[in-house]
Amino acid sequence: MSDQLNSLLIDIGNSRIKFAFGSDLTKINVCNSITELIPYLHHVSNIWLSSVGKASQVKQLQGLVLPLGIDLHIVATQKQAHGLKFAYQDMTTMGVDRWLAMIAASQETIKPVAVLSLGTANTCDVLYEGKHLGGWIAPGFSLMKDSLQIRTAQVFADSQIPTELTLGDKTQDCVNLGCLAQQQGFVLMANNYLLSRFNDYDIFVTGGASSLVEQLNLPKVTFFENLVLSGLNILSEKIDK
């Protein structure tokens, strides 16, 4: 591996682990367990970690890197960073993934921007003139579907993921399409919020369920594969300098 790969960026999410090497964010890898990272650890000198997953996964990674002498940087949220001031009074309650995604987004545009991450949970955060104005958190597509099946007696679904919002004619299709409607509605409401307040704006969408909203074809929407890793890369480059 080249020197460019000396840094390993890791995003431990609620359902999957995403990682990339150095500043090459065109090659984002996905795995399900920390042990799958072992073959790569001998080729890196430092690791930048964002985690909203299980604490046991972080401890497992710490145990693996300690004997190898790898510098492990576990990122935590801060009230102010990279020219941004965040709305939360208690920053310990903000997910570091949202924080990193906002840092990355702030480097991509000077317009008001809604940063949407669609995954296990859906989050929306609005940035304007260097300030985080606040945001929303809602259940993601799979979580909505699981909740319906667990909390209702005669509602059930299957594993199908619809690619187009139509009307269902059987219960499982109605559940899948209803969850898709809510997923797309989350993005539409973010668009409506910005449209009612700003003459021009951007909407950045990232996360594993982003494909579910692509058919909206909103002109203000730009898709990013992983803004969390982009944020980690920004932090690592600043420290390296």
38 alpha carbon, distance to own chain's centre: 24
What distances in angstroms separate CA 204 from CA 28, 71, 90, 101, 214, one per listed residue?
18, 31, 25, 10, 12
Do residues 18 and 51 make contact, with C-beta atoms less than 8 angstroms apart? no
For 123, the 3-state DSSP assignment is: strand
Q: d(Cα 207, Cα 204) in Å, to the nearest integer? A: 10
Residues identified as active-site: 97
Nearest to 101 by CA among 235, 240, 237: 235
For 127, the 3-state DSSP assignment is: strand
Which phi-psi region, left, alpha or beta, contains residue 185 (left: φ > 0; alpha: ψ -120 to 50)? alpha
Q: d(Cα 47, Cα 189) in Å, to the nearest integer? A: 37
Q: d(Cα 194, Cα 133) in Å, to the nearest integer? A: 12
